[in-house]
Structure 1
Amino acid sequence: MTAGTTAADRGPFDADRMHAAYAVDVVDSGGADAVFCRVNMVESLDGAARLAGRSGGLGDDEDQRLMSVLRSHADVVLVGSGTVRAEGYGGAAVVEADAAWRAARGRDPQPRFAVVSSGLELEPEHPFFADAVSRPLVVTSAAAPPDRREALDGVADVIVAGDRRVDLAAAFAEFGRRGLRSILSEGGPGLLGALAEDDLVDELCVTLSPVLVGGAAPRISESATERPRAMRLVHAIPGERMLFLRYSRR
């Protein structure tokens, strides 16, 4: 479906159509260890990234189903530690139908989760680790507290990228070396801002929620400096309530 889609094209969520619409070809992104980074976010009509403190408050069942489809095309799902705490991450990444879709294509049924954290404030008992279907990854810097790193070593693969701050480009290079070449980032705004600053965003998928929020909710991207990046609209797919947008830098 293309940007010319009209209201007449709306219908029940069609997983096969959405899998086709969001297909990823990582081979096109570069060399043997190159990675492809897609970001998935939701925002209100007036640009709010959260409602009542959570991005999940802006979504609906179709948005959640699309999230599973997008995760199905990823090797690793990347999130910030604040998002893990706020949104209740833990357990399987994709629904059973999408796990079967992955398995039919020779992939592990579930993608891995990775969390970016400078301070390693998450506890090993958090559902993100305790309920994980496959061993998560933790991305941090050499400046992270050694005792916190040691505590998480038992429940996750810890990647040290950067000296004083997390070096996302270095983390992505390590993902590539581990065969985790298709990355889906789910924010929050600080992580998207950091990825954009480092010019690491290949695609941005935005669910536009038909609500006006007001207040002081953040935008979907937060960073200290403005660094404009031109993106190309790939498609605009209307759901029952939401509008699903896909943009590419290529």
Structure 2
Amino acid sequence: MHQVWPLPGRPIDDRDDGALEELYRYPLDAADRWLAVNFVSSLDGGIEVDGRSAGLSTPADRRVFALGHDLADVVLLGSGTALAEDYPGLRPDARAADRRRRHGLSPAPPLAVVTSGSLPADATSLVDVLVPSIVVTSAAAPAEQQEAWRAAGAQVLLAGDEAVDLPTALARLADDGYRRIDCEGGPGLVGTLLHDDLVDELRLSIAPMAVAGRAGRVATSAEPLDAPRGFEVASLLVDDDGTLLVRYVRAGLRR
């Protein structure tokens, strides 16, 4: 792996955790909270093979993807992605546990799953966890469903009356100490986060393969944004296998 930007460039070997941690840390000196979106994409813009992201992931992508949750206070994802990917809770291995200790983080970050109310109470993201998950929903979610989530061991965070109010939800997460937020999809959630100007950083791994077809994209919404959101390149790494690892930070934010 080689760092192309920022200059001067330098090689980064498999043992150089310090260099990658410095690039992929959450800079709370730049903001009260920091939300980073993590995605892997094909070179022609697809984010899935047979409905899942695993077919695109490369060793370099997996290495930086792990940094996203290893250095986070909480992992945010939409219920559709949680179900499609059968997301379990995070269980840090020895290397990740050491990384979290060195950065003063809790032993494991919880999942925060955003749902309109349809998330099953027996979803893997709620029952196969080391620490209790957080269900982010609105007051319109049926009371019996909320009770089922709680009975499954989850915390229920209500934000919004008829639909989930993400700015309020993120503010409440930050108030509870979850200030480093790693968003791992899906596209609909990322589209809403972009619409609400809540994305501070977009971490994109571009795999050296094309998929064509009707594969989804990183962010989707019913309508285009009122105006494109500007981002600046914060770092660019190139792996020996051709994977590009790009970090984009929202224009105007210091990193």
TM-score above 0.5, yes or no: yes
- Partner letter of residue 225 of structure 1? P
Spell out the pairing of 1:18-29 with structure 2 (5 A cutoff): 18-29=20-31
Alignment of 1:140 with 2:141, yes or no, is no
Q: What SS is found at the alignment partner of 1:115?
A: strand
Provide, for residues 111-167 of structure 1, a one-character-per-residue CA deviation record: whole Å limited to 9, x for no partner.
Answer: 1111001123223x3321222111110100111122111100121110011111110
Please name the residue that 1:118 is paired with.
Answer: 116
Assess if the C-alpha contact under 8 Å between 2:89 and 2:110 holds in 1. no
Assess if the C-alpha contact under 8 Å between 1:234 and 1:247 holds in 2. yes
In 1, the alpha carbon distance for the partners of 2:196 and 2:137 equals 16
Query: More deviation in 9-18 or 63-72?
Result: 9-18
Alignment of 1:129 with 2:131, yes or no, is no
- Partner letter of residue 196 of structure 2? D
In 2, the alpha carbon distance for the partners of 1:240 and 1:5 equals 19
- Partner letter of residue 224 of structure 2? T
Assess if the C-alpha contact under 8 Å between 2:4 and 2:238 holds in 1. no
Q: What SS is found at the alignment partner of 1:150?
A: helix
Gap runs ≥5 in structure 1: none
Spell out the pairing of 1:15-94 with structure 2 (5 A cutoff): 15-29=17-31, 34-94=32-92
Assess if the C-alpha contact under 8 Å between 2:203 and 2:248 holds in 1. yes
In 2, the alpha carbon distance for the partners of 1:180 and 1:62 equals 27
Q: Comparing both structures, which one devotes a greater share of its residues to helix?
A: 1
Q: Identity of aligned pairs, percent?
A: 37
The change in CA–CA distance for 1:166 and 1:84 in structure 2 (over 3 A counts) is same
Please name the residue that 2:183 is paired with.
Answer: 185
In 2, the alpha carbon distance for the partners of 1:63 and 1:14 equals 15
- Partner letter of residue 22 of structure 1? Y
Q: State the 4+ residue runs in structure 1 displaced beyond 4 angstroms.
A: 4-8
Please name the residue that 1:229 is paired with.
Answer: 229
Aligned positions, number = 245
In 1, the alpha carbon distance for the partners of 2:70 and 2:12 equals 23
Pairwise CA distance, 1:183:
0.6
Provide, for residues 27-76 of structure 1, a one-character-per-residue CA deviation record: whole Å limited to 9, x for no partner.
Answer: 321xxxx3211111111110011111011221023322222212122111
What TM-score results when the alignment is normalised by the length of structure 2? 0.89
Alignment of 1:201 with 2:185, yes or no, is no
Spell out the pairing of 1:213-224 with structure 2 (5 A cutoff): 213-223=211-221, 224=223
- Partner letter of residue 28 of structure 2? V
The change in CA–CA distance for 1:36 and 1:151 in structure 2 (over 3 A counts) is same
In 2, the alpha carbon distance for the partners of 1:10 and 1:181 equals 28
Superposed CA RMSD: 2.0
In 2, the alpha carbon distance for the partners of 1:63 and 1:94 equals 17
Assess if the C-alpha contact under 8 Å between 2:89 and 2:131 holds in 1. no
In 2, the alpha carbon distance for the partners of 1:17 and 1:74 equals 17
In 2, the alpha carbon distance for the partners of 1:26 and 1:79 equals 21
Q: What SS is found at the alignment partner of 1:79?
A: strand
Provide, for residues 176-234 of structure 1, a one-character-per-residue CA deviation record: whole Å limited to 9, x for no partner.
Answer: 11011111101111011000000000000000011110001111000122231110001
In 1, the alpha carbon distance for the partners of 2:146 and 2:35 equals 26
Pairwise CA distance, 1:93:
4.8
> Alignment partner for residue 168 of structure 2, among 167, 170, 179?
170
Q: What SS is found at the alignment partner of 1:222?
A: coil
Pairwise CA distance, 1:8:
8.8
In 2, the alpha carbon distance for the partners of 1:63 and 1:95 equals 18
In 2, the alpha carbon distance for the partners of 1:58 and 1:21 equals 23
